[in-house]
Amino acid sequence: MSSGSVGSNGEPRGTVHSPVRWPLFLVADLVLVLVFAGIGRLSHGEDLAGAFTTAWPFLVGALIGWAVSRGSRSPAALWPTGVLVWLSAEVVGMLLRAVTGQGTAVSFVIVSLVVLGIFLLGYRLVVRAVGRARGR
């Protein structure tokens, strides 16, 4: 990377796309959703054993976001990948929680929107910053 600038796909210019790279971002997104669920359960005095029960609606949403954004094309991009994964995880996650009788209190919707946004967009911002720093 010579210019240190960011391309139209939101990734640092000169980023090499390897077939191994996008699965790492997909796994990172799914792990961060699980971390969100685990933190939430622990903060409410619940055990981690039920983390998947809490997380599965958001995991389904994140996977839909990956499909809609074609995340494998630009996995580090804030737009469309990061934003669509984040918002799909939130919207689909809340819809699935509502349909399956899980809680959708307004406070939970707000907290999940903020925390998932910080998690799913935050690490992409770090990747961009590192890419820019390496390009200097």
The DSSP symbol for 12 reads B
Q: Is residue 74 part of a domain?
A: yes
Task: Output the six-digit token pair for 33.
Answer: 């959703």
Tell me how many domains the chain contains.
1
Q: Is residue 102 part of a domain?
A: yes
* Entry pTM: 0.84
Task: Output the six-digit token pair for 16.
Answer: 């090499």
Reported as a pLDDT band with limits 50, 70 and 90, residue 126 is: very high
**Mean pLDDT across the chain, nearest whole number?**
89
pLDDT at 2 over 50: no
pLDDT at 104 over 60: yes
Domain, as residue range, for 37: 21-135
Q: State the average pLDDT over residues 50-77.
A: 96
Q: Is residue 30 part of a domain?
A: yes
Dump the DSSP string for 51-117.
Answer: HHHHHHHHHHHHHHHHHHHTTTTSTT-IIIIIHHHHHHHHHHHHHHHHHTT----HHHHHHHHHHHH
Among the ranges given (9-13, 32-36, 84-88, 101-105), the one the predictor scored with the smallest mean pLDDT: 9-13
Q: Is residue 106 part of a domain?
A: yes
User: Which residue in 17, 6, 136, 132 sits closest to 79, CA to CA?
Assistant: 6
Q: Is residue 5 part of a domain?
A: no
What percent of the chain stands above pLDDT 90? 75
Query: Can you say whether residue 21 is alpha, beta or left, with left for phi > 0 and alpha for psi between -120 and 50 degrees?
Result: alpha
Task: Output the six-digit token pair for 100.
Answer: 């399956």
- pLDDT at residue 135, rounded to an integer: 82
Task: Output the six-digit token pair for 71.
Answer: 């995340």
User: Which residue in 36, 56, 47, 49 sits closest to 108, CA to CA?
Assistant: 36
Residue 17: count other Cβ atoms within 10 Å of its Cβ.
14
Q: Is residue 16 part of a domain?
A: no
Q: Is residue 12 part of a domain?
A: no
Q: Is residue 4 part of a domain?
A: no
